[in-house]
């Protein structure tokens, strides 16, 4: 009977650790949205770095759940996006990028789970993930603003490619660095 209780307690602890890790990255996405520089239709934020880092640290499933949590906060009207619009963000030109965070985080995390915690894996995974949110973002940007593809591609992708590469490097450094490893290990323990 004691063995069953330990096993049940271990399962509960594992669920609590996963939920805390997911909530941490949801909160970091909110924080990333608030670190903003306006740059036309699409603002510069640190959210994409958080999406990359979530995948690198949490793995595919939990990274995607962290971004679903972020979208949930927007859906209930909390002003946690870059411009403080809350639910209103879904009437604007940037919601395609936000929706793209979910599959991007999942793909980044799945690749990192499969191929390991190496910088080249992180950079390839981040590039593939970025192509996902750039694609969904460009499609919505074109449909909401009426921009031609070339203009939307410049406004939503070209201006951000090098910046997102730098974010991928920073996310990889954070995911692999020794100091935060203990923290990340606590967040993903038991997975």
pTM (two decimals): 0.89
| pLDDT tens profile 113-157 | 999 989 999 999 999 999 999 999 999 999 999 999 999 999 999
Predicted confidence at residue 179, as pLDDT, reads: 61
Give every residue of the chain whose pLDDT is below 70, as ranges: 1-6, 179-191
Longest dimension (CA), the chain: 67
For each of the domains in the chain, give its residue range(s) and CATH number, in order of start. 7-177 (1.10.1760.20)
Contact in structure between 40 and 155 (CB atoms under 8 Å): yes
pLDDT at 8: 77
Q: What is the pLDDT of residue 83?
A: 93
């Amino acid at each position: 009977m004691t063995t069953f209780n330990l096993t049940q307690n271990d399962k509960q602890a594992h669920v609590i650790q996963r939920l805390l890790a997911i909530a941490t990255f949801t909160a970091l996405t909110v924080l990333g949205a608030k670190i903003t520089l306006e740059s036309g239709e699409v603002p510069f934020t640190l959210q994409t770095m958080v999406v990359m880092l979530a995948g690198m640290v949490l793995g595919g499933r939990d990274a995607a759940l962290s971004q679903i949590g972020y979208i949930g906060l927007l859906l209930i009207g909390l002003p946690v996006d870059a411009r403080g619009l809350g639910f209103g963000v879904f009437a604007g030109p940037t919601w395609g990028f936000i929706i793209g965070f979910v599959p991007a985080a999942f793909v980044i995390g799945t690749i990192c789970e499969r191929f390991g915690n190496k910088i080249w894996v992180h950079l390839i995974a981040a590039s593939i993930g970025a192509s996902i949110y750039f694609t969904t973002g460009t499609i919505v940007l074109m449909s909401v603003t009426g921009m031609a593809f070339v203009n939307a591609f410049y406004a939503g992708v070209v201006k951000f490619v090098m910046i997102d590469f730098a974010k991928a490097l920073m996310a990889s450094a954070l995911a692999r660095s020794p100091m935060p490893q203990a923290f990340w290990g606590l967040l993903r323990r038991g997975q």
